[in-house]
Structure 1
Amino acid sequence: MKLNRRHFAFAIMAAAGLAIAAPASADVLDNITSKKKIRVATDLGIPPFGMLDGSLKPTGSDVEVAKALAADWGVELEFVNTTGPTRIPNINTDKADVVISSLSITEERKKVVDYTKPYSFIRTTVIAPTNDTTKSWEDLKGKSIAVVRTTAQDVALSGEREKQYGFTVIRFDDDATAITAAVSGQATYLGLADPQMRTINERSSNRKFEAKLVISQFPIAMGVKKGENKLLDKLNEWISTNAKNGKLNGYFKKFHNIDIPNEILQ
């Protein structure tokens, strides 16, 4: 039987339709299992969650979690170095299988990524030198609190809370400037996340800072490409097991020197 141009065109269209209907790639968990390798997107520039040690090897609390996950699953671990803005694009473009990189849970991100259960957390606090006697918000009346402009701390402290407790918010343009202000003595009270306080204490030889008041706490979860339900379920099972046996808290406390609140892991 001869195919005329119309038949040939229909054949091409049918083939194209099948190609469109077919999945673009295999299931991510199936890929991990078959290749015996998991690719984890981790920012190695945000200590103590992710960083490089003196031998330029990855370390940090998120790194420990990724290593433990790969070991328990019996697969090779490959770190895909990322930054904050590229964490989710890395999984959505199949450059990585999962994000384990201080990814806090937000409603906006839920539109483009599926979250696991929380495995970690990050908090923001008002910090001050260890010899400062601040114990309540009322103790900050008349004081100035330095924040980085437009951060969650800036939003949380400005406005009503600022008026209610009588302190003044002063703003720096970036973390580096705020950290320098603390180390140099220019700022005594700051609203920062725990990693920034750690950096201040590493750089300051004259005085050490500690958290005085908690501003807010954000649960941190792993992120996977939307629709990867098998991978999501398996990760959640692993997180639940290691939350109960205390290993997740151990990985976190090793680098942050504080415990993950029970309500975060529950």
Structure 2
Amino acid sequence: MKNHIKKFASIAMLCAGMLATVAASADTLGDITARKKVVVGIDLGIAPFGMTDEKMQAQGADVDVARQFAKDMGVALEIVPLTGPNRVPYLMTRKVDMVISVFSVTPERAKVVAFSDPYGINQLVLGAPKSAAVARLEDLAGKRVGVVRGNLQDTVLTAVAPKDTRIVRFDDDATVATALISGQIDAIVTPRTTLATIAKLAPAKEIAVRQVMKAQPYAMGLRKEDTALRDVVNKWIAANMKNGHLGEIYEKWLGVSLESAMDSWHKQQ
């Protein structure tokens, strides 16, 4: 009987230790408050959400959102540059407290990370130069189409592309853009805003939207155990939706109304 009691006590102590460890590791909000700084992962190679100016200073829609969040939290902001494929690894290995980087909400990602409430809408489109003779999805048969590896555009295109479509996967949006402009690929699946930026870089190619592929909300990415931080973030998003700050940032960088974008997404549901 004594042995059973000792065994039970040992198991209880072990469980208590594990719970204490989980609780400590889950207190990212406490860490932010203690260090008076929030560390945010942002892709600075995906205009107009994240980029750098001529002085190599971060700017863009997601940068402004992160700055507003840090300001309202009363803490400093540290931006950690990342890319689409390493948003989840950076979050899970605690290199960042959170990800604010046009992070589309998908069921696959939701199995690994926690998402805040949406704070914007991202429209994925099929784009191509006039010379590619691509007007719709069916025209991609035999064509080379560029996407960012592992991103939403990769998932969406892979699911619906004609069987003989040659999907070419790159590590980031900047590389995909270069490939399209240089003629290494015939078309691209990318956010509408990214395509608009690419089109401006090579106006002679007449790069334009050929088909809308998907309208998708994006949100802030957090670790699943960080429930306290998620609550704070969601309250902040609700408040800044109401006071218009998020709408101002969205319209400033994307050129369209956040309210109308949200309405159009809800109508598709």
Cα–Cα, structure 1 residues 210 and 254, in superposed 2: closer, same or farther, change >3 Å?
A: farther
Whether 1:254 and 2:252 are equivalent positions in the alignment is: yes
Other structure's SS at 2:38 match: strand
Distance, in Å, in 1 between the alignment partners of 2:202 and 2:81 is 29
Shift in Å at residue 211 of structure 1?
2.9
Task: Show CA shifts across 1:47-68 (max 9, x none).
Answer: 2221111111111111110001
Structure 1 residue 82 displacement after superposition: 2.0
- Look up the match of 2:190: 192
Residue 106 of structure 2 aligns to a residue whose secondary structure is coil
* Secondary structure of 1:206's aligned partner: helix
Which deviates further from its counterpart, 184-193 or 94-103?
A: 184-193
Quickly say closer, same or farther: Cα 1:31–1:190, change in 2 above 3 A. Answer: closer
Asked whether the 8 Å contact 2:118–2:218 carries over to 1, the reply is yes
Q: Does 1:81 align with 2:81?
A: yes
The structure whose Rg is larger is 1
Residue 29 of structure 1 corresponds to: 29
Partner in structure 1 of residue 4 of structure 2: none
**Aligned partner (choices 195, 204, 207) of residue 206 of structure 1:** 204
Matches of 2:27 and 2:215, distance apart in 1: 34
- Relative distance call for 1:246 and 1:169 in structure 2 (3 A) is farther
Please tell me whether the aligned partners of residues 145 and 187 of structure 2 are also in contact (alpha carbons under 8 angstroms). no
Per the normalisation by structure 2, the TM-score is: 0.72
Q: What whole-Å deviation, never above 9, does each CA across 1:200-252 have from its counterpart, x for those lacking one?
A: 22321425434353211111110111122221111111111222333223212
Change (3 A) 1:188 1:253: farther
Gapped regions of structure 2 (runs ≥ 5): 1-6
Alignment of 1:32-181 (within 5 A): 32-127=32-127, 147-148=145-146, 151-155=154-158, 157-159=160-162, 171-172=167-168, 174=170, 179=177
**Deviations 1:92-119 (Å, cap 9, x if unpaired)?**
3332211111211111211221110011
CA contact (8 A) 1:153 1:192 kept: no
Segments of structure 1 that go 5 or more residues without pairing to the other structure are: 1-9, 163-167
Distance change (3 Å), C-alpha of 1:199 and 1:25 = same
How many residues are paired up? 246
